[in-house]
């Protein structure tokens, strides 16, 4: 029973379910390399890419909880999280971060030299995000950069080199994630102001932040359409693009109509569906072409 509670606590700590945001785009990068560019498909390499995603996500989320533990304790919305509540000791959380970071680097060693040498840079970005809210309102974009490493990282794992198309998909992820993080930050606007934390809602207010989020997601739509044109993909891909853009718009409608009452629906459910559905259409289109 105790072990079950501890395991459940760690899964809650890292919010494993949030992997659904970036994991589908890692698969997009992988299949873009194998099915579009013609690099050899390898189940072993696919498994290594997925392991990298899991280890990196574990490290990033756990470190965020560790770095924000004192802030979370003061915030009524986050006071019930695992570390402030005492379910997981800070030292254990930090150990979990170190172990997952080392596993991430070790896994990249078995992929290729480029991903191995770039792995510390990736960790610097995804771990460094946890400190950005203390000094810049642009912290949302650092989160976006961290998640945007998924498609280009998976592509590099297969190809060992950079290309324009996966970079465009990384831009899609960057602006998509940054935009929905701005919306999510609306619920902490008052708390962040009183604790001198930075965010676009603090800097611009709710109305200004929602406007900026809409503009950022408009850029997301531009880049995802640009990628579809650049890749000359088929009808299924375009159907996925249509669903993705529609769900971008839908989350703004939810927030505008309901305020913060349905922020979880706008943030978690809508974006999770958008990521999964688009990747399914994308990969199916590649496999059938």
CATH number where 104 lies = 1.10.357.140
Structure token digits, residue 43: 């189940």
Cα–Cα distance for residue pair 127/144, rounded to 1 Å: 13
Domain count, the chain: 1
Domain residues for 11? 2-288
From residue 4, alpha-carbon distances to 1, 7, 57, 92, 211 in Å are 5, 5, 21, 16, 44
How is residue 180 written in tokens?
């929905």
Rounded to whole angstroms, the Cα distance separating 245 from 66 reads 34
Q: What is the pLDDT of residue 218?
A: 97
The reported pLDDT for the residue numbered 137 is 95
Asked whether 155 and 33 are in contact (CB, 8 A), the reply is yes
User: With a cut of 50, which residues of the chain have pLDDT below it?
Assistant: 1-6
| Cα 217 to chain centroid, rounded | 15
- pLDDT at residue 56, as a whole number: 94
């Amino acid at each position: 029973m105790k072990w079950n509670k501890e395991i459940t606590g760690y899964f809650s700590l890292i919010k494993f379910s949030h992997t659904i945001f970036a994991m589908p785009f890692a698969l997009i990068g992988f299949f873009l390399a194998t099915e579009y560019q013609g690099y050899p498909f390898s189940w072993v390499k696919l498994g290594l890419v997925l392991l990298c995603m899991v280890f990196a996500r574990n490290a990033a989320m756990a470190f965020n909880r560790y770095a924000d533990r004192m802030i979370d304790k003061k915030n009524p919305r986050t006071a019930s999280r695992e570390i402030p509540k005492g379910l997981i000791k800070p030292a254990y959380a930090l150990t979990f971060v170190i172990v997952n970071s080392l596993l991430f680097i070790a896994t990249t060693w078995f992929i290729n030299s480029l991903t191995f040498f770039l792995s510390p840079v990736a960790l610097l970005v995804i771990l460094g995000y946890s400190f950005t809210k203390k000094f810049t309102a642009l912290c949302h974009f650092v989160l976006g950069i961290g998640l945007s490493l998924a498609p280009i990282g998976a592509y590099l794992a297969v190809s060992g080199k950079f290309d324009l198309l996966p970079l465009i998909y990384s831009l899609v992820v960057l602006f998509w994630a940054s935009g929905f993080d701005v919306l999510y930050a609306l619920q902490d606007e008052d708390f962040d102001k009183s604790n001198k934390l930075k965010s676009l809602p603090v800097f611009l207010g709710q109305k200004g932040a929602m406007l900026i989020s809409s503009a950022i997601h408009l850029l997301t739509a531009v880049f995802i359409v640009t990628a579809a044109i650049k890749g000359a993909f088929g009808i299924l891909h375009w159907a996925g693009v249509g669903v993705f853009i529609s769900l971008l718009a839908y989350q703004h409608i939810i927030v505008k109509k309901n305020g913060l009452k349905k922020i979880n629906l706008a943030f978690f459910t809508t974006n999770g569906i958008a990521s999964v559905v688009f990747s399914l259409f994308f990969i199916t289109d590649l496999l059938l072409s």
